[in-house]
Copies of this chain bind each other. A is one copy, B any other.
Amino acid sequence: MENLLRGLLACVREDLDAVERELERAVRLPDPSLTETSRHLLAAGGKRMRPAFCLLAARFTPCPPQRVVPLAAALELIHMASLVHDDVVDEARIRRGRPTVRARWGNRVSTHIGDYLFAQSLVLISSYGEPLVQRVLADTSVKMCQGEIHQIAGVFAVEQNLKDYLGRINRKTALLIAASCQLGGVVSGAEPRVWRRLRCFGRFLGMAFQIVDDILDFVADQGEVGKPVGSDLAQGILTLPSIRALACSPQKERLGVLLEERLAGEGDLREAVDLIKDCGAIEYSFGVAERYVAKAKEHLAGLPEGEAKAVLRRLADFVTVRRF
């Protein structure tokens, strides 16, 4: 699966390597005792999807790669900062199969390292003259925090509905992917009609991406995803499969009771996960993700043909087949 993704991104491999070098520089921490933390942050790194989207989006207009690389790195730093801060608050011990920064060094270090990564992204962003870059990323950052705060406020809230969920993942995830696509276009000098389409593509694909992430929390095995099954639910975070099951499972009352009692009993988490999986909520959620992928592709259709478009189309398909 990882090889499939590598193959898809071969055409931007060189630029992604340049992004990686930029990240290594930005993640270098100001105290020698933290060198290991830096290495850990990079190694725990994700799939670098946001830089990849940004670099591909910039390929619709001829422009030198060094124009886009700092932005692509900044987008990944914003994402990394949000993951580090997520660890502070969610009491998560494992992310992508490695102990988190917090589990290793505690909340104090995590909070400041998250801030540091975010501040480093601002240094990279401040090199761009286009006011739209600053504006879109400021707005996206505010909304990402709103999404996180909503998620905390909604812990074990069984009354939340599809709309609440979609609004939350839009803010938490989709808007940063939308910004990655849009701004890749903007800094490469694309016309507004091009970067507007790129933004829509990114937003819909981002929605699908998060829905699949939320599904994988139920169905993937720990080895592949790096987190124990049902870890969101264990923390009271209700995602699409849970919300669907609470509405449509023949045993929805029982599921509601388990969640309202915060899965406090021995075996409650296991029972809730089984109830959710048994009622077709996973298949339903995949269907929703696929509809978002289809919408994303509609926006892609209006863009000029070429390698970038072909790769973005295949990345869109990858989102629903991925298992990590």
Residues of A within 8 A of B (CB): 29-31, 33-34, 85, 88-90, 107-109, 111-116, 118-120, 122-123, 125-127, 129, 131, 134-135, 137-139, 141-142, 144-146, 148-150, 152-153
Q: How far is the CA of A88 from the CA of B107 in the complex (A)?
A: 7
Interfacial chain B residues near A118, Cβ < 8 Å:
115, 118, 141
Contact of A30 among B29, B134, B135, B146 (CB under 8 A): B146
A112 contact set on B, CB distance < 8 A:
85, 89, 145, 148-149, 152
Whether the pair B113, A141 counts as a contact (CB closer than 8 A) is no
Residues of chain B within 8 A (CB-CB) of A120 are: 142
Contacts of A144 in B (CB 8 A): 119
9 tightest Cβ-Cβ pairs between the two chains A and B: A89-B108, A122-B138, A119-B141, A116-B145, A126-B134, A30-B146, A119-B142, A31-B153, A123-B138
Given contacts A89-B112, A115-B148, 18 further A-B contacts (CB under 8 A): A29-B149, A30-B145, A34-B153, A85-B112, A85-B115, A89-B107, A89-B111, A107-B107, A113-B145, A113-B149, A115-B141, A115-B145, A116-B142, A120-B142, A122-B142, A126-B137, A126-B138, A134-B134
Contact A116 B30 (CB under 8 A): no
Looking at the assembled complex, report how far the CB atom of A57 sits from the nearest CB atom of chain B, in whole angstroms.
21
- A123 to B123, alpha carbons, bound, how many Å? 16
Q: Complex: how many Å from CA A149 to CA B111?
A: 10
| Given A85-B115, A115-B85, A146-B116: A108 in contact with B138 (beta carbons within 8 A) | no
Q: Which residue of B lies closest to A30 (CB)?
A: B146
- Residue of A29, A33, A134, A150 contacting most chain B CB atoms (<10 Å): A134
- Report the minimum CB–CB distance from A111 to chain B (whole Å): 5
Given A134-B125, A146-B116: A109 in contact with B31 (beta carbons within 8 A): no
Contacts of A141 in B (CB 8 A): 115, 118-119, 122
Give A32's nearest chain B residue, CB to CB.
B153
Do the beta carbons of A108 and B152 come within 8 Å of each other? yes
**Are B111 and A88 in touch, CB under 8 angstroms?**
yes
Separation in Å of the A37 CB from the closest CB of chain B? 10
Nearest CB on B from A187, distance (A):
15
Pull 12 A–B residue pairs with CB atoms less than 8 Å apart, ordered by A: A31-B150, A88-B111, A89-B112, A112-B149, A115-B118, A115-B141, A115-B148, A122-B122, A122-B134, A122-B137, A122-B142, A123-B135
Chain B residues with CB below 8 A from A129, complex form: 131
